[in-house]
Amino acid sequence: MIELHHGDCLEVMPTLEAGSIDLTVTSPPYDNLRTYNDSLEWGEHVWKPVMENLYRLTKEGGVVVWIVGDATIKGSETGTSFRQALYAMECGFRLHDTMIYQKPAVPYDPKCNRYWQEFEYMFVFSRGKPTCNYIMEPCKGAGKRKAGDYGQKRHDGTARTDRHDETRLIKSHKVKSNIWFYTAGRREKGHPAQFPESLARDHIISWSNPGDTVFDPFIGSGTTGKMAIEQGRKFIGIEKDAEYFEIAKKRIEGDGLFAK
């Protein structure tokens, strides 16, 4: 099932069934860093009701992945992302994880007195205990014997020597950390801000199961929708800008998957 809506998410979201969404993966148009064809007005009066509606729509055990960053104005970051995270908790969400989307650094003018920016926040909000299908990655020391205290400490900072077992071998794989690195990857012409397909795919795998419903209230070029369908999920999406809506629609139609 694929359901795409061309319209304002503040108007469409209230019409959707409460508790109908298993997972939201979205990157809102934070701090007006892009013009998006002058199609939107952004601020607390928008993101607060969006968050309230997301809580209403999210099932018990469901997750919202909110991918954001902050603008720098007069030498100071706005901190909007943190205000959004705190407000999500006011709405009833748990802050399940604060993850980092690391990307190739964009060089700054050295006169700006800042380090190069190479990450965005990926706040993972949950409504209750979430689904969690851990992504695994190879261990560098696979097959070698463990030594030392393995980094385990007591509350007073001393090593947990009672847990030493130098006969144990390092496993071949471990759970991936919460810092995820991606290059830009494929870009759709006509949209100024897209996250990598693999980023959306990995969150969809992690926080939902086949047959679940994935949602994006700001579908943009359609990355979340495309990857949701590829991973055997249902998808509901909303886009206000007519040009971006057509990009997303054609992107899904190209796979022969558009159903409405």
Instruction: Report domain extents, the chain.
Output: 2-135+176-253
pLDDT 10s digit of each residue in the chain, 260 long?
A: 899 999 999 999 999 999 999 999 999 987 654 444 444 567 899 999 999 999 999 999 999 999 998 888 888 889 999 999 999 999 999 999 999 999 887 666 666 677 888 899 999 999 999 999 999 999 987 778 766 555 567 778 777 666 555 557 888 899 999 999 998 655 555 444 578 999 999 999 999 999 999 999 999 989 999 999 999 999 999 999 999 899 898 887 665 444 43
Cα 107 from Cα 114, distance rounded (Å): 10
Pick from 248, 120, 251, 233: nearest CA to 184 = 120
pTM: 0.84
pLDDT of amino acid 101: 95
Residue 40 Cα distances to 32, 153, 165, angstroms = 9, 50, 58
pLDDT of amino acid 40: 58
Query: Topology of 2-135+176-253 in CATH?
Result: Rossmann fold (3.40.50)
Cα 151 from Cα 167, distance rounded (Å): 17
115-121 own/partner pairs: CB under 8 Å, 24+ apart:
119/69, 120/27, 120/67, 120/68, 120/69, 121/66, 121/67, 121/68, 121/69, 121/81, 121/85
pLDDT of amino acid 42: 73
pLDDT of amino acid 206: 98
Residue 137 Cα distances to 152, 180, 203, 243, angstroms = 21, 11, 15, 38
